[in-house]
Amino acid sequence: MMINNAISRWYSHSDAKFKTRVREMYKSSPLQKKGQCIQSSKYPAMGITIDYLIEKDSIKEVIHGGSVSGCTN
């Protein structure tokens, strides 16, 4: 998803190589209550929690933040 590429740029240096494709995303991360998690390929302890508000087949809002540690399934 292009929105995941844009968001991941805000969370680390360009070498973090976040897995931003839908099929690469994880289900969660420690202490995360909802949404999904985008994992860094280079840094196992680095993830981004992300939740989408979808309305009428369109993304209306995206809530995101750094995860406490790496993503989990």
Number of domains in the chain: 1
pLDDT in tens, 21-30: 999 999 999 9
In a domain, 33, yes or no: yes
In a domain, 10, yes or no: yes
Q: 13: pLDDT confidence band, cut at 50, 70 and 90?
A: confident
Domain extent at residue 42: 2-66
Q: What is the pTM of this model?
A: 0.85
Q: C-alpha distances in angstroms, 52 versus 35, 42, 59, 61? A: 7, 25, 6, 6
In a domain, 73, yes or no: no
Q: What's the burial of 51, exposed, middle or buried (CB within 10 Å: 0-12/13-18/19+)?
A: middle
* Rounded CA separation 42/34 (Å): 24
pLDDT in tens, 34-67: 999 999 999 999 999 999 999 999 999 999 999 9
Neighbouring C-alpha atoms within 13 Å toward the C-beta of 68? 7
Residue 1 pLDDT > 80, yes or no?
no
In a domain, 44, yes or no: yes
The three-state secondary structure class of 23 is: helix
